[in-house]
Structure 1
């Protein structure tokens, strides 16, 4: 029993399972806005709630495990990542392959149970989710690919409810993409020297620290713009716009924290991930009520 628990802990460390909840607010923002427009109620039923949770968790498990598997040759020489289970031998290559395949199969099966469009999009989504790990080997746009991976969450949410992709969901998704990419730029500053020495194509390694700060601020400005357009396009009200304003304030303080003391990047990560997603959901929920 103890051995099983240790193995589960290793898997959790591999995919950082506790962070799976970070994508959920954006899925459910899209689902409640869509449900309210479709049926006049925020509640979309237990079936879609359970299937949505399964889809979100399996997609993220696939993405994280594929990333760890593909990056083994990079991670083992980086002091920040050398203790990951994919590198230090706690989880072997075959077990990672099986875990990746299992979660891909679960995601596709869940998409099939949701509706036809979800099923048709399931494999392309998995390809995008895995693309980040490969992109950073030849393009500095990998940060945007990572952003797109999480940005697909609202698209998935609205497809589950109405089997279509309205304009407001695209605007919401673009905002999420820029938010994640902007933060990933800051986070990747930790590996700037390593990436430069090993020929990896991160923006910090290609353009330097000051340019990275500027591009991150630019991306986060785009986040606020597209979320404002999302609220406008979805005909949301006061509380939704207030949520966007609070998101802008959170981003402002995130950049202040990192600029003053880069060692607090993990603290900024906590603020960005928790306050951003959950507060946006809370204010959109209030608005739709």
Structure 2
């Protein structure tokens, strides 16, 4: 029993389960707006299962593909995929199981979700290989998480309305923007190992500028989402308020690169939760 508990802890560390907080709020935002309120316990359970299995799949592929890179990087050398706690065959089984769970959940949800399940998994897996030949890896990560709102609205309405695309575009640029900030930690390592990150190719100043531009676009698309979905005051506060949060994140990193972890995990985590709470409030009072 103790061994099973330890294995569970190792897999939790492998995929950083707690970081699911980035994608879950925006799935539920899309579901709340699509349903114009509460969407039911059944879809809640299916939505959580789909989100967690998709993220576990993506993180599993990333760790499986990056074992050689992680082993060279002092920041990642203690990960379970590197230090021997989890071998490659175990990680591969983990990847396959989560892929099957995601496809099965999509099948239960509706035919459109099922038809898109494998293409979505392909997009999620592609991020792990992009950094080997393209600096667009940051945007691909954004696309991977930006699919979450699309998946949420498909689960409720089996359609992809304009507002969900705008919400998704906001998530794409939000994620790409904070991934750029996060990747500043590895700028020297990426240069030495010929990896295609924007910091290693264009430098820290260009990275900070592009990150800020991406975050400005994220706020713009979220404001357009509020307009296209016909939402109210609290939804507008959520979209506009995200601009102040992201400005604080940018300022935090510019002032001190040692604050990158705080900006990445804490600030972005609060942003997603606050955005969701305000959207729920908006639907309650409308």
Q: Same fold (TM over 0.5)?
A: yes
Q: Which stretches of structure 1, 4 residues or longer, exceed 4 Å deviation after superposition?
A: none
Matched with 1:179 is 174
Matched with 1:231 is 226
Displacement after TM superposition at 1:48 (Å): 0.7
3-state secondary structure, aligned to 1:52: helix
Matched with 2:160 is 165
Correspondence 1:153 to 2:148: yes
Query: How far apart are the structure 2 equivalents of 1:194 and 1:44?
Result: 46
Within 5 Å, give how 1:1-289 maps onto structure 2.
Answer: 1-36=1-36, 42-289=37-284
Displacement after TM superposition at 1:77 (Å): 0.4
Query: How far apart are the structure 2 equivalents of 1:207 and 1:28?
Result: 36
Q: TM-score, normalised by structure 1?
A: 0.97
Query: How far apart are the structure 2 equivalents of 1:271 and 1:170?
Result: 26
1:3-57 residue CA offsets vs partner (Å, 9 max, x unmatched): 1111111111100011123211000000000001xxxxx1211111111010000
Q: TM-score, normalised by structure 2?
A: 0.98
Displacement after TM superposition at 1:281 (Å): 0.6
Query: How far apart are the structure 1 equivalents of 2:197 and 2:25?
Result: 28
Superposition RMSD on alpha carbons, in Å?
0.7
Matched with 1:39 is none
Please, which runs of 5 or more residues in structure 2 have no aligned partner? Answer: none
> Would you say the 8 A contact 1:250–1:271 is kept in 2?
no
> Would you say the 8 A contact 2:21–2:272 is kept in 1?
no
Please, which runs of 5 or more residues in structure 1 have no aligned partner? Answer: 37-41
3-state secondary structure, aligned to 2:72: coil
1:105-164 residue CA offsets vs partner (Å, 9 max, x unmatched): 000000000000000000000000011111111000000000001100000000000000
1:222-245 residue CA offsets vs partner (Å, 9 max, x unmatched): 000000000000001111111112
